[in-house]
Amino acid sequence: MAEPVRRVAVTGAAGYVGRRLVEALAQEPRVDEVLAIDVLPMAAERSPKVVSMRRDVTRPIAAALSDHGIDALVHLAFLLNPGRDTRRSREVNVGGAEQVFRSCLQAGVRHVVYLSSATVYGARPDNPAALTEDSPVRPVRGFRYAEDKAAVESLLSGLVERNPRTTAAVLRACPIIGPTADNFIARAFSKPLLIGVLGHDPPMQLCHEDDAVDAIRACALERRSGVYNLAGSRTIRWSEMVHAMGRRLVNLPAWIVYPLTGLAWRLRLQDDSPAAGLDFIRYPWVVSTEKIGRELGIRPALTSKEAWNSFARRAPRPETQGNTP
């Protein structure tokens, strides 16, 4: 039987999911210490179990992992919206992950959990009704977030193949949302008007922040290994998400909205996404969560709609934000 996990490291610990995960791990009686690693400072108030470390993940962390006797590491550090700096994105997201995984090997950390994304499957018209973990990984070309997530998955898979004593869990999560959401989705919905692709209103999946943290914590502490999709049950349409927030939805033909979005991106009129990102509000990319429920017993408590509504209830309404889009 594998040794129990008593000491956990978390990269990206100051981020939206990272902060909540560190808090949850610190409340676990079986956890003795949480090493919170981030280039940004952690909140001033925290458990005495938590040790903060300011470090860019592109730099080695093997010595720290070894000094703290880390049993498992959760890798969350990732530039969610690097804008147009693809070099920096690749350096942090892929190069940083490679550095972290190499440090784990050097320090004898035998278990890694990586928060990937369901976007690695791509949003495509020929996707099945529910993508399984055996579905091909084919991120939308030009959508850097998904391309980087897929590249890191490949790195981690190679590490495990070359080092049989190392185990890893990869969670292909749909967008994570909740009352305290602070990510690219939350920021996108700060605008009073959102765009849709005429004739398309795809079903979307969301995962509540508490359910996501619970799944990551379980995979870390119980040394779960394998690739698993993670999403709230059922779906919510793109139009429902927009209307629940009290925003306006403007549907434009694909032949108009793709060139306009691409032009706005190139002219720096918007920083949300290049035109490739429109595929995710045009085509389906729903995942099956049968495997994670069957093998790990992980079943998110909230549906996709409930997760979204928990965010929508806390978000400011358009009339409180002035006229700035």
Per-residue confidence in pLDDT tens, the chain, 325 aa: 578 899 999 999 999 999 999 999 999 999 999 999 999 988 766 789 999 999 999 999 999 999 999 999 999 999 877 566 778 889 999 999 999 999 999 999 999 999 999 999 999 999 999 999 999 999 999 999 999 999 999 999 999 999 999 999 999 999 999 999 988 888 888 888 999 999 999 999 999 999 999 999 999 999 999 999 999 999 999 999 999 999 999 999 999 999 999 998 888 888 888 999 999 999 999 999 999 999 999 999 999 999 999 999 986 655 444 332 3
Query: Could you tell me if residue 83 is left (phi over 0), alpha (psi between -120 and 50 degrees) or otherwise beta?
Result: left
Q: How many CA atoms lie within 13 A of 28 on its CB side?
A: 24
Helix segments in the chain, DSSP class H:
16-26, 62-67, 86-90, 96-107, 144-162, 184-188, 209-221, 238-244, 254-266, 290-296, 304-312
pTM for this model (two decimals): 0.94
What burial letters (b/e) apply to 290-316, b meaning 16+ CB within 10 Å?
ebbeeebebebebbbbbbbbbbbeebe
- Angstrom distance (rounded) from CA 85 to CA 104: 28
Q: Is 193 helix (H, G, I), strand (E, B) or coil?
A: strand
AA identity, residue 301? A
What CATH code would you report for 7-182+206-233+285-302?
Answer: 3.40.50.720
- Angstrom distance (rounded) from CA 291 to CA 282: 26
